[in-house]
Amino acid sequence: MSEIVKKATRESYGAALVELGKVNGNVIVLDADLSAATKTGSFKKEFPDRFFNTGIAESNMIGIAAGLATEGFTVFASSFAMFAAGRAFEQIRNSVGYTHLNVKIGATHAGISVGEDGASHQCCEDIALMRSIPGMTIINPADDIETKHAVFAAAEYDGPVYLRFGRLAVPTIYDENSYKFEIGKGIELRDGTDVTIFATGLMVKEALDAADILKNEGISAKVINIHTIKPIDRDIIIEAAKKTGCVVTAEEHSVIGGLGSAVCEVLSESCPVPVVRVGVNDEFGQSGNAVELLKLYGLDSENIAAKAKQAINLK
């Protein structure tokens, strides 16, 4: 058996920017003095004339990005999710969203898995914030391969994009040679008849492991990766819900305003079925080992499997 490769999606983001820069001379990268952590430093090293450190001034960085976009550049503006989505929300809304500019926000260190950085940096509200901005596209890739494809897709897309990346190294799920990425299209990873698990980001691998746990108990789980949370793939959500009759959502984000909320909105309008949400339950994080924190907050395969059985019992 080949060794499972693990890589943080923030690392994949930095590598993808370098590859993108080689084929697209119109790309400019900004960073709020965190390039070593966001991994945009790789782009700086390769293309110093197209990289700008704006300092610890995230709101100003978004304003600069908007200005560059009006001149025809494709701009990637990077910082931690807490600062990119939180501190600069008003600038993103008014300077980027309202004007529908070609700015891509590379938000790293999202979710509980930031670990030892603690509650102040563990952003579990960013998807909810970005979903509220009209016309904003939100992509939350699951692994190294998906991240690279997402970065290139974002660059080709005309309009604002919020790209969400993690600090924790995660297993590679996809094969580079066969993987196809399309904004707004979910991907079925496992077919099943008893329950559907919709997952995003690092929770996709946990959902697959949960499906294996359920299989050993005679339960058939369909697993679907929702890498684009906005615009969300309504068709795949409705079709899966009709087939299995109940749903679990899994995300490294608050249960308020994220994937779970988006799925519930779709199903309440078109296909009402029981939905059980797995995520951070309206509480702040805490400092600790990333893997231990994920388990503590129920963001693991065992809890997903337990919630799947709960959803089945609600049919």
Catalytic site positions: 58
Q: Which residues pair with 250 in a beta bridge?
A: 199, 278
Contact in structure between 102 and 74 (CB atoms under 8 Å): yes
**How many C-beta neighbours within 10 Å does residue 52 have?**
18
Identify the three-state secondary structure at position 40.
coil
In sequence order, which residues have a C-beta less than 8 Å from that of residue 178 and are 6 or more positions away?
none
**How many C-beta neighbours within 10 Å does residue 50 have?**
17
What H or E segment, with its residue span, contains residue 276? strand 275-280
In sequence order, which residues have a C-beta less than 8 Å from that of residue 202 and are 6 or more positions away?
9, 111, 113, 142, 166, 168, 170, 252
User: Could you give the angle at the alpha carbon of 85 between the alpha carbons of 253 and 228, nearest 5°?
Assistant: 55
Identify the three-state secondary structure at position 260.
helix
Q: Tell me the C-alpha distance between 315 and 308, whole Å.
A: 11
Which of 137, 122, 169, 138 minimizes the C-alpha distance to 12?
A: 169
Identify the three-state secondary structure at position 4.
coil
Q: Tell me the C-alpha distance between 34 and 140, whole Å.
A: 20
